[in-house]
Amino acid sequence: MLISEKIIFCLTLILATQLTRQIPLLFGRRILSIFTSDFIKSNIHDFLFLILIIYCFRDVTLTPEYILRVLVASYVFIVQYFFEKTLISIFTGTAIYMVGRYLL
């Protein structure tokens, strides 16, 4: 990484950090009401699992590792959606993925 790229990277981090700290001060309660809405509070687990599924399906190949990711993401989604057992779906999905990565 060149020195100019490092400087740009550091400046971007500084800007992002400052923006996240200053936005609530600039917009006050209007911006806070977005993040404390009942819709987000009641659906935060679904949003997190949607991000997990999108991450697992990010590149389509027919390698064993990709198939393992698809199966684990599908398992976690099914357990979470139908049985609503968040911790069981996360821990078992992680364990299956780690063992599968070790064996493949």
Q: Which domain holds residue 43?
A: 38-104
Same domain for 58 and 92, yes or no, is yes
Q: Which residues contact 79 (CB under 8 A, 6 or more apart)?
A: 85, 88, 89, 92, 93
Contact 86, 45 (CB under 8 A): yes
Separation CA 9–CA 94 (nearest Å): 32
Same domain for 31 and 50, yes or no, is no
Which pLDDT band, with edges at 50, 70 and 90, does 51 fall under? confident
- Structural domains in the chain (count): 2
What is the structure's pLDDT at 31? Answer: 67
Q: Is 1 exposed, middle or buried (0-12, 13-18, 19+ CB in 10 A)?
A: exposed
Q: Which amino acid, 41?
A: K
pTM: 0.43
Same domain for 71 and 43, yes or no, is yes
22-37 tens-digit pLDDT: 877 777 766 666 666 7
Residue at token pair 């990010």: 58
